[in-house]
Amino acid sequence: MEIITAKISSNESRYWSQVLEFAKADHNLFLYLGFVDLEESAAERKSKAIASFIESQIIKQAKKLTGADLKEISKAARLHFKFSDNDDFAIIVIQEGVLKVTAGGLTMFLLRDGKMATIFEPKTHSGTISGPIKEGDSFMVVTTDIVSGLGIGVIKALLEMNQPASAIESLLTKLSTLDGNLRKGCLLAMSVASKTKVADSTILEPSQKTALSRLKNLFNLFRKAAVAFVDLLLKLLPERKIVVEAGMADVSIERKRKSAFFVAVVLLVLLVVSVVYGSKQRELRSKKAATGSAVDEINHLLDEAQALFGLSPDRSRELVLAAKESLSDLADIDGEEYKVMAEKVDEVAGAILGEYEGQPELFLDLTLSTDGFSGQAGSLSEDTLYVLDKENSKLIQIDVKTKNTRVIAGPSEVEGTLDVAGYLDKAFIAKKDVLYKVDKGGITKLADGQFGNDVLINAYAGNIYLLDKSRSQILRYQGGGGGFGEGESWLAEGLSEDLTNIVSWAIDGSIWAVDGEAMVYRFASGRRLSRNTISKYVKKPAKISTSENDQDIYFLDSATNKIVVFDKEYGYIAQYSAGDVGPIRSMFASESVGKIFLLTGPKLYVLEMKHLN
């Protein structure tokens, strides 16, 4: 694969820019440097030193160069050579058909199969992007001033020319009409299979031009002669006169009035019809314009998402989600066009978002175990699921492998229960200021505390954990010797966390918690390790599910009735639709059995985990 390029640089002290190229046996290196308020000679010396440093670092990596390596090389160069926040840079490496890019302050576009995508944008992108490059791909690295001055449409038209040199010439012409204070700098490149041969232009020789000119003159003379001949014939033809007899003009005054009235009525009707018709036409034109605008926006987002998927999956998913939001707007404008675009969005979303739309299967009708049962909360431990009905004060136990179900506690034991946590063959329940154990032997009081009515309970490694929202604390009740000690603060001394908005939590060795704003917290050894938002994918989290046996984390989104899956580094994996089973009260995931259980109250549904395959 060969890369053909063209570029624009600037030697002004206000903004000096240069694009350097290095072609090696195993890779191509392109380096864009743009400095603010640096004299030309100083800028040239600095650029040579930077280029030498970066090239040597890349050569050291040989064929082992990764996106992370490129990011570290960029970071080292910017620190060593003291880049300012206003300086621009881009390092682009093409190696074994893979494009690796890191940039700062610049915008980068990719045109693939007629679809343009924004790979880098200073306001929304950072880090390094890598992915395969195909024959026919064109990409442009350009200053943000040029993008804002010319617009995205002009940039795409330049890339579509498929001739970097011609595109740069056109770009220079357009730049001459803009403000002279713009930052100017650009690299335009195209990948080709082999050296492209420029097609011979069809240029007319002087003799050919003369022949064409003579033919044109003869045609004009012939046309003039034909027009003169037709005018002569019209003059020679006899003139026919129309005679009106005298009696034909005598019409009574009354008849004239009736005719005038009739004409007035007809004109009035025509006026009303034309006004109504014109109004409807304006509405149709307005609707058509709005529909066209919405469809164009959705198509652009989907095209960019598909083009970027190999280079930046996260950005690609963001674009698909944006297309879905635009699709909801289209539903209010044009129902027919909405159906067409909805199919297209679903097709792209399935490939990029990993969406699974299958209808959940009924797993158990819980009312068959006990009349009127309607679960609101529960806990899954290994293969045992505990479901709590707070309203009817009942707790049932389900073996998810065999579906064996039994009521293990009734109103006299469960009344007033706030939350339940399962641990193997026993369950723990929290009431106001008291913890209990429920097993085959009945209900046993474990410990007293002061934690009020707003708590969440969990069990892990033989210990009981209680999250008290009202006091923003986590208490641990340590098990041992057949009993449990007093509740002790699990958070490190002197550390405070706002836990008042936590809606659900899970323990896999670390403590994971999610609040109502879709912010996820990870704690370990009494301290918060990380905090990250998942609001791009989850609008209103209601439940989190994971365990030490699960490699992923599962979130129930009550706003969309979907289950969204992330890995434990907050990377998006997939999402499952709950179909039309109604609002989901709670959700429990088990990768060991490969199922997601959905509690709707009286019924329990199941989804197969397809993303694990």
* pLDDT tens profile 44-80: 889 999 998 898 888 877 667 887 788 888 888 888 8
Give the lowest-confidence range in 121-135, 182-196, 199-213. Answer: 199-213
Please name the amino acid found at residue 215: L
Q: In the prediction, which pLDDT does 590 show?
A: 95
Report the pLDDT averaged over residues 445-451.
Answer: 88
Q: In the prediction, which pLDDT does 421 show?
A: 97
* Interval 526-544: pLDDT, tens: 999 999 999 989 999 999 9
Give the lowest-confidence range in 125-134, 192-201, 524-533. Answer: 192-201
Q: CA-based diameter of the chain, in Å? A: 131
Q: In the prediction, which pLDDT does 386 show?
A: 97
* Interval 464-497: pLDDT, tens: 999 999 999 999 999 877 778 889 999 998 888 9
Look at residue 102 and give its three-state secondary structure.
Answer: strand
Contacts of 396 by beta carbon, 8 Å cutoff, 6+ apart = 366, 369, 370, 373, 375, 386, 387, 389, 405, 406, 407, 408
Q: In the prediction, which pLDDT does 256 show?
A: 58
The 8-class DSSP code of residue 201 comes to P
Q: In the prediction, which pLDDT does 355 show?
A: 84
| Spatial distance between the Cα atoms of 359 and 377, rounded to a whole number of angstroms | 22
pTM metric for this prediction: 0.57
* Interval 337-351: pLDDT, tens: 888 888 888 888 877
Q: What are the C-alpha distances in Å from 297 to residues 332, 353, 430? A: 15, 19, 51
Report the pLDDT averaged over residues 101-116.
Answer: 89
Q: Which CATH class is domain 361-608?
A: mainly beta
Report the pLDDT averaged over residues 390-417.
Answer: 94
Higher pLDDT, residue 252 or 100: 100
Sheet with 488-489: strands ordered across: 455-460, 463-468, 473-477, 488-489
Has residue 83 got a pLDDT over 60? yes
Contacts of 521 by beta carbon, 8 Å cutoff, 6+ apart = 497, 502, 511, 512, 513, 514, 515, 528, 530, 531
Has residue 354 got a pLDDT over 60? yes
| Spatial distance between the Cα atoms of 226 and 228, rounded to a whole number of angstroms | 6
489 phi and psi angles, rounded to 5 deg = -65, 125
Give the lowest-confidence range in 34-43, 349-358, 456-465. Answer: 349-358
Has residue 430 got a pLDDT over 50? yes
Strand partners, 521: 513, 531
Whether 570 and 537 have beta carbons less than 8 Å apart is answered as: no
* Interval 265-300: pLDDT, tens: 777 777 777 777 777 777 766 667 777 777 888 888
Look at residue 247 and give its three-state secondary structure.
Answer: helix
Whether 394 and 379 have beta carbons less than 8 Å apart is answered as: no
Report the pLDDT averaged over residues 493-506.
Answer: 93
pLDDT band of residue 587 (cuts 50, 70, 90) is: very high
Has residue 222 got a pLDDT over 80? no
Comparing CA positions, the residue from 131, 110, 106, 139 lying closest to residue 121 is 106
Average pLDDT of the chain to the nearest whole number? 84
Report the pLDDT averaged over residues 109-138.
Answer: 82
Comparing CA positions, the residue from 398, 450, 448 lying closest to residue 427 is 398
Q: In the prediction, which pLDDT does 450 show?
A: 83
Comparing CA positions, the residue from 396, 410, 400, 399 lying closest to residue 367 is 396
| Spatial distance between the Cα atoms of 552 and 554, rounded to a whole number of angstroms | 7
Q: In the prediction, which pLDDT does 308 show?
A: 80
Q: Where are the domains of the chain?
A: 2-192, 269-353, 361-608
pLDDT band of residue 442 (cuts 50, 70, 90) is: confident
Q: In the prediction, which pLDDT does 230 show?
A: 52
Q: Which CATH number fits domain 2-192: 3.40.109.10, 3.60.40.10, 3.40.50.1950, 3.30.450.40?
A: 3.60.40.10
* Own/partner pairs, 336-344, CB within 8 angstroms, 24+ separation: 337/291, 337/294, 337/295, 341/295, 341/298, 344/298, 344/302
31 phi and psi angles, rounded to 5 deg = -130, 120
Q: In the prediction, which pLDDT does 492 show?
A: 93
* Interval 155-190: pLDDT, tens: 999 999 888 999 999 898 888 888 778 889 999 999
Q: With helix as H, strand as E and coil as C, how does 570-610 read? A: CCEEEEEECCCCCCCCEEEEECCCCEEEEECCCEEEEEECC
Q: In the prediction, which pLDDT does 62 show?
A: 64
Comparing CA positions, the residue from 386, 392, 388 lying closest to residue 372 is 392
Count of helices and strands (H, E) across the chain: 10, 38
Residues belonging to the chain: 613
Q: What percentage of the chain exceeds 90 in pLDDT?
A: 43
Highest average pLDDT, of 270-274, 444-448, 522-526, comes from: 522-526
Report the pLDDT averaged over residues 246-274.
Answer: 64
Has residue 204 got a pLDDT over 90? no
